[in-house]
């Protein structure tokens, strides 16, 4: 299984850019990298997905280097409402569909 490793927690302040890096050393060729956001007592919410290089949408950017062994979620100008747990997910190929969430990164945004 493609195991992911993220920092357990991060702190930031309103208006700053936040970068959360995820390591996935044994990512397979056809795997995509997906990031989710989760607030307490709610289901995770899709943020962004990519395969390589850079992907940007209205809420975040995702940077993936050429070797694809890591990825970085970038949140521009965070606000208090961005306080949440962020999960990096890689779906492992190999016959069965078994997505593996790690423990995620708890981001706290301070005023």
Give the Cβ contact number of residue 68 at 10 Å. 20
Give the per-residue contact string, 31-70, with another protein (x = CB under 8 A; - = no): xx-x-x----xxxxxx--x-x-------------------
* Torsion (CA) 39, 17, 10, 59 in degrees, nearest 10: 20
H helix or E strand, kind and range, residue 75: strand 70-75
**In the complex, minimum distance from the CB of residue 77 to another protein, in angstroms, rounded to a whole number:** 25
Region of 94 please: left (phi>0), alpha (psi -120 to 50) or beta: left
Query: Quick count: other Cβ atoms within 10 Å of Cβ 100?
Result: 15
- The reply to whether 23 sits near another protein by the rule CB under 8 A is no
Among 67, 81, 96, 111, binds another protein (CB under 8 A): 96
Shortest CB 33 distance to another protein, Å: 10
List contacts with another protein (CB under 8 A): 30-32, 34, 36, 41-46, 49, 51, 87, 91, 93, 96-104
């Amino acid at each position: 299984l493609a195991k992911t490793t993220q920092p357990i927690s991060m702190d930031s302040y309103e208006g700053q850019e936040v970068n959360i890096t995820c390591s996935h050393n044994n990512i397979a060729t056809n795997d995509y990298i997906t990031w989710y956001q989760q607030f307490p007592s709610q289901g995770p919410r899709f943020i962004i997905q990519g395969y390589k290089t850079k992907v940007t949408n209205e809420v975040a950017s995702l940077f993936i280097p050429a070797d694809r062994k890591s990825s970085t979620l970038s949140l521009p100008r965070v606000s208090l409402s961005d306080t949440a747990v962020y999960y990096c997910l890689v779906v492992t190929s190999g016959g069965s569909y078994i997505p593996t969430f790690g423990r995620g990164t708890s981001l706290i945004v301070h005023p």
